[in-house]
Amino acid sequence: MSTSKKHTSQDLLEENDSTLLPNKKQKLDTTLVDNNNDSLPSNTISSKLEESKIPDENVEQEIKEIIPDILNKNYIDPDFVTRFYSAFKKNQTFTDEISQAIIYNLPFPIALLPNIFDNEFLSNVKDEVKELDFDNKSNDLYEFHQSSDLKICEKPHLSKLRDTIYSDVFVSTMSNLVGFDLDYTPDLSVHKYEKGNYLLCHDDDIKDDAFMHGRIIAFIIYLVDEDWSKDDGGALELFNINSQSHPDEISLSITPKWNTIAFFALSPTSYHQVSEVISSTKIRYSISGWFHGPLNTRLSRAEFIAPVPEVFDLKDFISPVYLNEKNKQRILKKLQKDSYILLSKFLRDDVFDKLITSIRETGWEEKPTGPPFIRKYHLLKDSEIDNFKDNNNNNNIIKDYKDSSSSSFCKYVYDFFKSKSFAIFINEISNWQITAVAREFRQFQPGNYTLIHDQGQDRIGADVTLFCIEGEWDEKWGGGTHYVADEHELLAIYPEKNMLSIVIRDAGTLRFVKYVNSHAAFPKTEMSFIYWDDDDDKGEEEGDEEVEDIEGGVEDIEGGVEDIEGVEDIEGVEDIEGIEDIEEEVEKIEEIEEGEG
């Protein structure tokens, strides 16, 4: 799957699409602006507040122009501005009895200003919002609907609201409340979250490296029904961070409230998300965007090991149809032509049945692995894996585990896929000289996902995944593995019982597992591996040079993927007792549809 262009989720937008999307950290560095404050860590929101400007003593002089009639006057009162700013700057909690304004100080300062606009006026705004055209926005990070930039909106009430937000009074007031110099044309668009829509963990901390300029304040004006409750979902959820400054757990959940603006300063640790909307009768409307100004930014990688040396007999695991030499050559040709293949009924029936039984008995980590701005899913318990590793010196391990009904059988199969024996098999069907393998035995439960992020990009390699599910997976549940590059989705692979997927992923092709939604009837369990060829990694390190196609020609795929042909020619199917229909299953290399998954 060759491409020459690096890709991030933001690139899914067309070049002429001016709509606004959350961004997941592009080019990152560790350099921060000098804040002249030795007492505070330089990577905290507090440090950004310290380096920012202090409001002029005479705030009243700055806002002597005509005050927009729809704006709540309480929020431009000089006394309120001074008290609010002091609390926001010092990262303190704050409550104003008159306006009911609130500042929560943890996990980072976030403010709520109720009744920010005239109530009747905002009701008219909402009526116009319902008439707008919305684009469906869907990728690894989010699933929602979004309007065009409100800069071009001509509806009377929406236009007046936009002009108010752009006004000197509003911008200077916001600037004085938070203590930052803010631009006078903030990004502004309408978001529409229906049942099942969501926005996953991200920080919004984006800048232009060339001009040292970017987002500094995120804000949301809620247009939800007045009876919107916690049970309706769609909460704004804020994450605390661990010792590595990665998001850890949700520490604050804010239920949307009609005619309330929520806003917070952005930083490398301002991690937040919008939880899935649960209500089937209400729509979560909001107007949101960012004020811009100078920002700061920030890195990571994956762990590869050499294939385990233990010798396994392929015939003990793999369906005989895939061990036939002619068939292995046919698979090789398909991978050289299309860069991917899906092999149904890959494991022997008896092995897969015992594997499923073992998985049912196996423990999973209760806390999902993270950080949530890159991934959220559950790993096999470390203690169980360690117990299995302790037995690796047993010469009778294959017979013992084959005859055993213990939960450790799934680790036995897991080690087979990490072995040199299986690496040789991959070499025979792909021509990849396997020198290392990254591996995970993982389970995606409802609410789990992976995201495309510069801090979590996978090294190029052969992606090999065994799907360990029992029933039939419904695409409506999400959970597909999506491959994207050059502003296109190339593949969308959905799990199938006992299917092995192999994708040769070159530089510039990225992947993610789509959010598993609340409709999923059972978890998506899989063994996931990346097999690494030293020679291909050298090519990756050379930067954006053209990647040489492997023999047979790996053509760039745009806009979709054609059905794989020719796998029906694989020989030996009729010789496998009990699965006489495997030819149909093998041919079912699952048409991969272009689209949003």
For the chain, the distance separating the N- and C-terminal CA atoms, rounded to the nearest angstrom, is 19
Work out the percent of the chain whose per-residue pLDDT is above 90: 52
Distance from C-alpha of 271 to C-alpha of 200, rounded to nearest angstrom: 10
What backbone torsions phi and psi does residue 399 show, to the nearest 5 degrees?
Answer: -65, -45
Cα separations in angstroms, 212 against 26, 262, 298, 299: 14, 26, 14, 19
594 within 8 A of 566, measured Cβ to Cβ = no
Length of the chain: 597
Tell me the average pLDDT of the chain: 77
Candidate from 46-60, 165-179, 298-312 with smallest mean pLDDT: 46-60
> What local confidence, expressed as pLDDT, does residue 303 receive?
65
85 vs 457, higher pLDDT: 85
The pLDDT of residue 386 is above 90: no
pLDDT band for position 226 (cuts 50, 70, 90): very high
Instruction: Decide: residue 383, CB within 10 A, 0-12 exposed, 13-18 middle, 19+ buried.
Output: exposed
113 vs 168, higher pLDDT: 113
Candidate from 100-104, 120-124, 320-324, 458-462 with smallest mean pLDDT: 458-462
pLDDT band for position 388 (cuts 50, 70, 90): very low
263 vs 182, higher pLDDT: 263
Candidate from 98-107, 399-408, 459-468 with smallest mean pLDDT: 399-408
239 within 8 A of 192, measured Cβ to Cβ = no
The pLDDT of residue 514 is above 90: yes
257 within 8 A of 228, measured Cβ to Cβ = yes
Mean pLDDT of 423-446: 92
Alpha carbon 146 to its chain centroid, in Å, reads 18
Mean pLDDT of 168-190: 88
Distance from C-alpha of 245 to C-alpha of 455, rounded to nearest angstrom: 13
The pLDDT of residue 468 is above 90: yes
26 vs 319, higher pLDDT: 319
Nearest-5° Cα angle at 534, 533 to 538: 120
Alpha carbon 332 to its chain centroid, in Å, reads 32
Distance from C-alpha of 401 to C-alpha of 94, rounded to nearest angstrom: 61
pLDDT band for position 380 (cuts 50, 70, 90): confident
452 vs 92, higher pLDDT: 92
pLDDT band for position 307 (cuts 50, 70, 90): confident
User: Which own/partner contact pairs does 60-67 have at CB distance under 8 Å and 24+ positions apart?
Assistant: 62/172, 62/176, 63/168, 63/169, 63/172, 63/173, 65/168, 65/169, 67/169
Mean pLDDT of 559-576: 40
Candidate from 7-11, 201-205, 401-405, 412-416 with smallest mean pLDDT: 7-11
Domains annotated on the chain, with CATH: 31-293 (2.60.120.620), 314-587 (2.60.120.620)
The pLDDT of residue 384 is above 70: no
The pLDDT of residue 1 is above 90: no
Nearest-5° Cα angle at 233, 229 to 239: 110
Dihedral (CA of 571, 576, 582, 584) sign: positive
> What local confidence, expressed as pLDDT, does residue 269 receive?
85
The pLDDT of residue 402 is above 70: no
Is the peptide bond prior to 371 cis by the omega test (within 30 degrees of 0)?
yes
> What local confidence, expressed as pLDDT, does residue 373 receive?
79
Mean pLDDT of 342-357: 94
Other CB atoms within 10 A of residue 127 CB? 12
Which range of 112-126, 162-176, 209-223, 533-547 scores highest in mean pLDDT? It is 112-126
